[in-house]
Amino acid sequence: MQQEKDVIQREIQRLTLFLTKLIGKAVGLSTNDFEQGFQNIESDLKNEFDLTLREITNLDDSKLTKKLEGLDEQHLEKLAELITALVGNLQNDFGSELAKKGIVILDFLNNNSKTFSLKRMQLKNTLQQGL
């Protein structure tokens, strides 16, 4: 039983590190290589979570919320950070839709977490400014 918990904990840590690396990639993207970098991030997300940011924007809020229920809180926070990092470079309808979905993710976290987070509040404010 303990061994099973250790395996699950290691997987959560691995995926958290994976998302942290994607955030680093997103922050480091320049205008010149943004499209290629974005495609790489999408591909990486699809491989690890079987979900892309484009798919997230195409889901209605209730379906997105159902998908979020199966993900770890740390992963959702990192996903919201990733979305926030990317939205600043997306000055189009997709960027606006992605910002809205980021807000849905943060609202879901705030409603389902036992911990208040200033960081989530800051991310939400940043996303709201991107609308």
Position 131 scores a pLDDT of 79
CA distances from 41 to 7, 44, 55, 102, 108 (A): 26, 5, 13, 16, 23
Phi and psi at residue 52, in whole multiples of 5°?
A: -115, 170
* pLDDT at site 43: 96
Mean pLDDT, range 51-55, rounded to an integer? 94
Residue in 87, 116, 114 with CA at minimum distance from that of residue 101: 87
The chain-wide mean pLDDT, for the chain, equals 91
pTM of the predicted model as reported, rounded to 2 decimal places: 0.91
Top-confidence residue, 48 or 32: 48
Q: How would you class 129 by CB atoms within 10 Å of its CB: exposed for 0-12, middle for 13-18, buried for 19 or more?
A: exposed
Determine the average pLDDT of the residues in 7-21: 90
pLDDT over 70 (residue 1): no
Q: What per-residue confidence (pLDDT) applies to 120?
A: 96
Burial of 88 (0-12, 13-18, 19+ CB in 10 A): middle
